Structure 1
Amino acid sequence: MNELNFIDLFAGASGMSEGFIQAGLNPISHIEMDKYACDSIRTRAVYHFVTKNGKEKFYFDYLKGEISREELYSQVPKDILDSVLNIEITDDSIKSIFSKIDKTLNKKKVDLIIGGPPCQAYSLLGRHHENIENDPRNKLYIQYGRFLKHYEPKAFVFENVPGLLSANKGQHFKNLKAYFRKIGYEVYHDTLNAADYGVLQARKRIIIVGWKKNIDYGFPEIKKIKVETTVNDIFQDLPKLKSGEALHVADYTIPKNDYLKRFELRNGVDFVTQHISRPHNARDLKIYKIAIEKWDKNEERLKYPDLPKELKTHKNESSFADRFKVVNGKGVSHTVVAHIAKDGHYYIHPDIKQCRSISVREAARLQSFPDDFYFEGSRSAAFKQIGNAVPPLMAYSIAKAIKNKL
């Protein structure tokens, strides 16, 4: 089969792209406005190159802090690094973006465009903003469409939050579908839950698939994956941490289990990185302990109004009453979102002996990133990238279904 090439728009840290690469597709370019996410994409692109060319030792040396990023990057052709464009997609920048991508194509055809524009405007939280109708993020699908018009791929995959369907009483979604049809694509959508595709997280997302009208395949059948694994199962081989403790490089504590083998989350690397916990003050740790005890006893969530008076800091007890939430160790996690970069209250580790919020690596595992995926930037930057990502395992299932059709 000829190699299928894709462009990833609004790429984030490239979680969606990672799934498509694992399914055998070839990335031509990634476009992303966040600097740290672009650094992560470049580092991952280097990983894919050096592992294909027998130079993975350089990557592992980098993870261990034994060589610099510059030394690692020197192992790959410059065009691999240049294919990651750290730029915001706007009316002013789009021609320059096309020009840069066109130079790297070298007669290759773009078969597929993937990506999901920033979704905050459609999220439940985002809808509280007064001026949502004028939020420029609502029209980013038009920028997406300009790439479709320029490159005319056979298909596209557009990911977003379920709120897209109901925003502005459904009018935004109607406009989006009409626009994509106008520029030559048949459009189908479905709401998928990442937990149905091997990800240990209840994460619902709208997946829109568009086909050039002459090759219309409808919405592809995406095979579901059943797993019996729990969150506790994928945390148990990681070293125990205290609040504020950071293990930048550490040994695993036990051999990998069937889940970690099957989905290759521990894939050839014999150490773990970025097992970093944020620090918490004494009051928050007391609250976390109460929340974990409540959850362990009756699987009951802590409500803010139920806290002892001396632990309360907010007079408003009705908004965000469930601001403290324990990750369900005996099942799948609730949705990991970018807010995890601001505080850990919504992602409390299920083990009361650790009594902290989850680490960067634990959050990455909930999103199904392999352990050798390295997030550049600070702890907060890493959390933000993870929370915004499409889970690679979910993306892999989508990619396989699209690839089979193409």
Structure 2
Amino acid sequence: MPETYRVIDLFAGPGGLAEGFASLKHGGKHPFKIALSVEKEASAYKTLLLRSFLRQFDGERPYEYSRWLAGSISEPDWASLYPDQWQAATEHALKLELGTDHAAAVLAPLLTDLATEKTIVIGGPPCQAYSVVGRNRNRGTEGYEASKDHRHFLYKEYIGILNKARPVAFVMENVKGILSSKVDGVRILDLVLRDLKDAGGTTDSYKLVALDPQTEDLFDTHEPEAAIDFLIQAEHFGVPQARHRMIIVGIRADHAQFLEKRRNGPLMPRWTENLATVDHALSGIPPLRSGLSKADTFQAWRDAVLDAMELVIQATKNAKSDLVQAMHEDALIAADEFGLKCPLYPRKADQAESINDGCPEALRDWLEGTAGGRLANHESRSHMPADLARYFFCAVFARKHNRSPRAEEFPDELVPQHANWTSGHFVDRFRVQRYGRSATTITSHIAKDGHYFIHPDPLQCRALTVREAARLQTFPDDYLFLGNRTEQFIQVGNAVPPFLARQIAETVLNILHQADGPGTEHTS
């Protein structure tokens, strides 16, 4: 078995999948080294490049980086301070758009060099064309034809890299929506699976592996009984979020013979106890006040929140719904508590307390990482005064009834001025991320709309911050996202949870170890 596998990371985003692979240790060494990361979007690339730079220090962080995270200094000139490490980072992380002639020319000699027994490929082609939301949006676009949407076929760029590099293994990630996405009546996933099997130029060059199969026939490397076998539910693997994604692992056929006889269950064991929840992920993060969309000062915000709370108190007192009336006392108690605590709330914080002991130890250690209590990207966004009332109402309702309110349960005083509010399309327009439960899926939509991502604490009256979303996505606290806040949210929402990626990496390593002979399976 080679000591180190070189990793090609395609459609890399901010680097979530690569972070999981690069962080894995076995026998005191890193079995996976990120040799090449490719991303086209400018802000995501900046984040990716920074992480590639930090990786050159093998777990230690430059002193200047810690000070920058703490807000003590502006970003240093890394190229001047650490020229060798910065040069290595720029060679490993490339800003390229796959599918262009320029990208093909740049990558050709690199892929020739990487086409060895020690290479694996990871990544997830963009999923907008496959997601349910994306498809609904496309249907509303006049003249839209799926067969002419190049995004449906970006996976072929991934296949093209497999053909050139012929890696010993690959990992492809995509959204659950690809299960039902079709072009001209043909399911896209069927095309993807066929092309993945035949990557490398010959039929059945790769055996496809389901890490956590869903069907009764638990393991079949030839023809999984259902494509849903490739679905991974992240909340079953220590991620505090109900994130369901397709994870397709391929093992080159000449390394996969032993898999043909294995039929004894999932390769990646689920967590069965102490599953991670929202309160685990958000613990230790200091509370913030929301901002106001206009004339934002602390006093203006405080007055707006008090007005919002009074509106909710009166609305719940006079509500026709018994459920809403039942939360009236809770609203009163929360309003009283707000009067005591609100002077302590800033808009931004850069220091965190320890994550509470109830959090699974492995996740807690992962999230705290090397940050030393420093916290980046934790700044609240601004909201309209009317939304402050709705957020307060929703958070109190969720605390009382253990779910978010539906549209028909909103008191008239809190109903948004949407003509279609009662159409049935806004049933869960406002959604609280609840303590004691997995979060709902963190998506890039959080960049535009915080209504689906309301903080569970009624006193904060706000949507999640970038750092809170990153915690739910299991990014370590020292993982800094660059770009403006909208770009940061998009990066977080599009990423693979690194803590999940690490478990995928460990499973792939186990498979490769077993391919070299029995008795070498790695457990951590």
Q: Same fold (TM over 0.5)?
A: yes
Tell me which moved more, 225-234 or 192-201: 225-234
Contact 2:54 2:61 in 1 (8 A): no
Give, in angstroms, the shift of residue 161 of structure 1.
1.0
RMSD of equivalent CA atoms: 2.3
Structure 1: gaps spanning 5 or more residues: none
Match of 1:316 in 2: 420
Match of 1:151 in 2: 165
Letter of the 1:177 counterpart: L
SS at match of 2:187: helix
SS at match of 1:6: strand
Give the 5 Å matches for 1:3-402: 3-23=4-24, 24=30, 25-52=32-59, 56-74=62-80, 75=82, 76-99=85-108, 101-102=110-111, 105=113, 111-128=119-136, 129-130=138-139, 131=144, 132-168=146-182, 171-183=187-199, 184-189=205-210, 190-216=230-256, 217=259, 221-225=267-271, 226-244=273-291, 246-247=347-348, 249=350, 251-254=351-354, 257=357, 259=359, 261-263=361-363, 264-268=366-370, 269-310=372-413, 311-317=415-421, 318-402=424-508
Q: CA–CA distance in 1 between the matches of 2:465 and 2:79?
A: 27
Structure 2 CA distance for partners of 1:70 and 1:86, relative to 1, 3 Å: farther
1:38-71 C-alpha deviation (Å, 9 max, x unpaired): 111111122222355x553122123234455452
SS at match of 1:265: helix
SS at match of 1:120: coil
Give, in angstroms, the shift of residue 252 of structure 1.
2.2
1:302-344 C-alpha deviation (Å, 9 max, x unpaired): 2234434454221112224212100021111111000011121
Contact 2:169 2:252 in 1 (8 A): yes
SS at match of 2:4: coil
Contact 1:156 1:209 in 2 (8 A): yes
Match of 2:322 in 1: none
Q: CA–CA distance in 1 between the matches of 2:194 and 2:277?
A: 41
1:186-241 C-alpha deviation (Å, 9 max, x unpaired): 23441111111111001111111112222224797012224344312332311110
**TM, length-normalised to structure 2:** 0.72
1:86-127 C-alpha deviation (Å, 9 max, x unpaired): 121114234223146359x58976511000011111111112
Structure 2 CA distance for partners of 1:170 and 1:18, relative to 1, 3 Å: farther
Q: CA–CA distance in 2 between the matches of 1:233 and 1:102?
A: 42
Structure 2: gaps spanning 5 or more residues: 25-29, 200-204, 211-229, 292-345, 513-524
**TM, length-normalised to structure 1:** 0.92
Identity of aligned residues (%): 33
Equivalenced residues, count: 403
Structure 2 CA distance for partners of 1:259 and 1:185, relative to 1, 3 Å: same
Structure 2 CA distance for partners of 1:100 and 1:289, relative to 1, 3 Å: farther
- Structure possessing the higher radius of gyration over alpha carbons: 2
Q: CA–CA distance in 2 between the matches of 1:193 and 1:115?
A: 18
Q: CA–CA distance in 2 between the matches of 1:107 and 1:143?
A: 16
Letter of the 1:147 counterpart: I
Tell me which moved more, 19-28 or 299-308: 299-308
